[in-house]
Amino acid sequence: MHIKILVTGGTFDKEYDERTGQLFFKSTHLGEMLRRGRCNADVAVETLMMIDSLDMTDKERKIIADHCRQAEEKHIVITHGTDTMEITGKFLSEAGIPKTIVLTGAMIPYKFGSSDGFFNLGSALAFSQALPYGVYVAMNGQCFDAAHVRKNKEKGIFEPI
């Protein structure tokens, strides 16, 4: 089973500038994460954009949807910032793309070492192979229907609505 991974940025791929204390984007960490995780799944990684999800608009969501629609693969994982993941999830759900699409991200950047991104990526890859067509959000070992999920910022988790 071939899986397409679409990279959009978010905390998952942020770097930390020790001089300024700012978070920024350089390049995706997906290749390193897949190697370190000893991923044996047949995956193809494509970087669509490297932006904070707070900067994402429907223009970028349309790009994501178009790439999902055009992909040969029927199983797609999208790395995405958590602040607007539910908006993109709902957008993709409404697009009616007949594929299994799983969005995932991280609350802590991968480069911090204590990131949840590593675990979330593995979970998303597994869910993408096991679930029927639809759009999902996979975070912290749980999977949700993307049209009915929200980020609870107080608790730092995703939950069904």
pLDDT tens column, 124-145: 999 999 999 999 999 999 999 9
Q: Is the distance from CB of 109 to CB of 115 less than 8 angstroms?
A: yes
Alpha helices for the chain (secondary structure H): 30-36, 58-70, 85-95, 117-130
CATH number (domain holding residue 76): 3.40.50.1170
Q: What is the pLDDT of residue 161?
A: 92
Phi, psi of 156 (to 5 degrees): 70, 35
Per DSSP, the three-state class of 116 is: coil
pLDDT exceeds 90 at position 9: no
pLDDT exceeds 90 at position 34: no
pLDDT exceeds 70 at position 147: yes
Average pLDDT, the chain: 89
Total domain count, the chain: 1
The binding site for substrate comprises 53, 82-83
Reported as a single tens digit per residue, the pLDDT across 85-102 is 999 999 999 999 999 999
Reported as a single tens digit per residue, the pLDDT across 36-68 is 889 889 999 999 998 888 889 999 999 999 999
Domain enclosing residue 78, as ranges: 3-160
**Is 11 a known active-site residue?**
yes
pLDDT band at 19 (very low <50, low <70, confident <90, very high): confident
Percent of the chain residues past pLDDT 70, beyond the cut: 89
Query: Which of these is catalytic: 11, 28, 84, 104?
Result: 11
Distance CA 135, CA 132 (A): 9
pLDDT exceeds 60 at position 82: yes
Sheet strands (E) in the chain: 2-9, 14-16, 23-25, 42-51, 75-79, 100-104, 134-139, 142-145, 149-152, 157-160
User: What does the DSSP 8-state code read for residue 41?
Assistant: S
| Residue 150 or 112, more confident | 150
Q: Is the distance from CB of 85 to CB of 64 less than 8 angstroms?
A: no
| Residue 5 or 83, more confident | 5
